[in-house]
Amino acid sequence: MAAALALTAGLSAAAAAPASALAAPAPARQPVATGSGGAISTVDPDASRIGLEVLAEGGNAMDAAVAAAAALGVSEPYVAAIGGGGYITYYDARTHRVSTFDGRETAPRAMRADSFVDPATGKALPFDEAVTSGLSVGVPGTVAQWQRALDAFGSRRLGTLLQPSIALADRGFVVDQEFYDETVLNQARFSAIEPTRRLFLPGGAPRPVGSVFRNPDLANTYRELARKGPSWLYGGGLGQEIVKTVRKPPVAADATRTVRPGLMQAGDLAAYRALSPKPTRVSYRGLDVYGMPPDSSGGTTVGEALNIMGNFRLSAKDTVGALHTYLEASKLTYADRARYVGDPAYVKVPTRELLSRGFARERACLIDPAKALTAPVAPGEPDGRYGGCAPAAQGQALPYEGQQTTHMVVADKWGNVVAYNLTIEQWGGSGITVPGRGFLLNNELTDFTLQPPAPGAAPDPNLPAPGKRPRSSMAPTLLLKDGRPRLALGSPGGSTIPTTVLQILLNRLDLGMSLPAALAAPRATQRNTPQVQAEQAFIDRYGAALGARGHQFALFAGPPAGVIGAATALEFVRPGVVQAVAEPSRRGGGSALVVRPAR
């Protein structure tokens, strides 16, 4: 408790410090923490400290998650902001039930299936042009999601939970190598948007490593949001500023980049609602696995793959065989994901059948333990009539999806648990900063299929439509044993998210690794592509043996190249004791903290 009180006192002092004070030195990153009283793991030490402060002061897991998410909007502005959205999977210790909160962005009412098609060519806009545009910006869902989640399970007001992040934005954080590299990656497009250039490229260049990045505009935005509430965004003045920015992007006078205007109107913001759909659920190795349902593909993709893998005996006695099965199950599942999963308000998603054991057996019988299927494979038929193996046919290529999301896990002293993915899509989202507001807008609408299918081709469930939510891969996942939480995990990484979650579960539950080892292990991702993309350490360790079974490997293209995901997870190791885990090295490593460390 003394450690928690000392941390609380230090954070309170930081909150009281004047904006002109120097930022504190970058806090140390700690990838593993075990103890009691509450736990949190995020990619960022400042966000983890702020979330832990809420837990130490008696707040619950949902309170801490919202406070930490607001902090990520300050210190990780290229992946998390109130200009984006996300998904929360939540376990309530009082009722022993799992709930979800869908804050996915929506398309404006003026959007059509061909809105990303250039009429001059009849082809989809080049992806780079589609991303850095008002056309890519969906109606932000984060603030509405925070409020709905707090109304259901929080114990603190949103305005209270924003206060530590106001102090962080005023005081600043120390630029590290990861932040610098992300800025360099975006420098060309950031320089084309005047307020983005001023905020992230002062003097025309990225802030150097070791310098202090303050964001007083965001601090003031959070102050007004704390005072006025979410209606300020959904139908109020902030919403009007967002609409103006989307419809007429503030392009720099000397920019040569084409930045297309968007379609958003004030009514789109006023009509936005965060949702709370029923979670997906499958059983695997005696555990109940809960995830996000469509419009996310995370729950169906992870769940279907686990069902397929459950037809095989997997263990560390044959690690190569287990990895082969994981890769083949992923390949089959991604074929089904592309064909059937979209926003269920617009397309009929066969969620029950995708997660049925009969469909999993039908798909599993295609897996040859000695030989990899040729990808891309065709989708199955989740129609309720399941029999023997149908020959594996050729399918379609994997659509592009942005990589840069973030994930956190939180548990409190009562046993409530949060797994939370939040994002603005690309590193830097659309690249468009709302003038004077200090935050970037998302480019989530590029998660839609930008080119409608040719006449006679299979229907695409993920075409743009008015008010529609684009398909996501985010997969905040909870595992329960006899109604009690056992594991919580998730990762960023766009379409690699489900495979990262799957491989961590394989490592922990089948291969017998500890949770820290399961996260640190080298990764590979098979998303129904001709080649398995992998980290170099995975290729070095398993490439030859898996190659003998027909798998072809390529280094994961990224960005960042050669790095898949940046997971966070926690495990209840015994009653009242939680182990929080973050990445030890990927993307600079994460930050895991507990209120009372175990001795």
**Predicted confidence (pLDDT) per residue in 554-577, tens digit:** 999 988 899 999 999 999 999 999
How far apart are alpha carbons 23 and 355 in whole angstroms?
A: 49
Strands 280-284, 212-213: pairing kind: unpaired
Strands of the sheet with 553-555, listed across from one edge: 524-525, 532-534, 553-555
Using the predicted structure, report yes or no on whether residue 17 has a pLDDT greater than 60.
no
Averaged pLDDT score across all residues of the chain: 93
Give me 437's structure tokens. 């507001």
Q: What is the pLDDT of residue 149?
A: 98
Cβ–Cβ < 8 Å for 598, 511: no
**Nearest alpha-carbon partner for 430 in 420, 439, 440:** 440
8 Å CB contact between 244 and 432: no
Q: What is the pLDDT of residue 58?
A: 98
**Position 529 confidence tier, pLDDT thresholds 50, 70, 90:** very high
Structure confidence at residue 491 (pLDDT):
97
Closest to 579 measured CA to CA, from 33, 1, 30: 33
Give the pLDDT score at 3.
37
Q: For residue 478, how many other CB atoms are within 10 A of its CB?
A: 26
Res 358: pLDDT: 96
The pLDDT assigned to 5 comes to 34
pLDDT digits 0-9 by tens, 330-381: 999 999 999 999 999 999 999 999 999 999 999 999 999 999 999 999 999 9
Bond from prior residue into 559 cis (ω within 30 degrees of 0): yes
Residue pair 518/507 in contact by the 8 Å Cβ criterion: yes
Amino acid at 544: A
Counting other chains too, the contacts that 387-390 makes at CB distance below 8 Å and 24 or more residues apart are 387/362, 388/362, 389/362, 389/365, 390/362, 390/366
Residue 419, strand partner residues: 89, 409
Q: φ, ψ for residue 330 (rounded to 5)?
A: -65, -45
The residue-averaged pLDDT of 268-275 equals 98
Nearest-angstrom CA–CA distance, 102 and 275: 5
Q: What is the pLDDT of residues 168-215, one digit of tens each?
A: 999 999 999 999 999 999 999 999 999 999 999 999 999 999 999 999
Say what the pLDDT of residue 249 is: 98
Apex 170 CA angle, 166 and 171, nearest 5: 115
Phi, psi (rounded to 5 degrees) for 38: 130, 150
Please check the confidence at residue 386 and state whether its pLDDT lies above 60: yes
Residue 472, beta-bridge partner list: 296
Mean pLDDT calculated for residue range 130-143: 98
pLDDT computed for residue 7 by the predictor: 38
Whether the pLDDT of residue 531 is over 80: the answer is yes
pLDDT at 40 over 90: yes
pLDDT of residue 25: 58
Q: What is the pLDDT of residue 14?
A: 36
> Catalytic residue positions?
405
pLDDT for residue 24: 54
Q: Treating both helix axes as pointing N-terminal to C-terminal, what angle do 158-171 and 45-56 enclose, rounded to 10 degrees?
A: 140
Q: What distance in Å separates the CA atoms of residue 341 and residue 93, rounded to the nearest whole number?
A: 31
- pLDDT exceeds cutoff 50 at 18: no
Please give the Cα distance from 375 to 525 (Å, whole number): 13
Give the separation between CA 479 and CA 13, rounded to whole angstroms. 38
DSSP 8-state symbol, 115? T
With bands split at pLDDT 50, 70 and 90, how would you rate the model's confidence at 387? confident
- According to DSSP, residue 271 is labeled T
**Does pLDDT of 250 surpass 60?**
yes
DSSP state of 510: I
**The pLDDT of residue 95:** 97
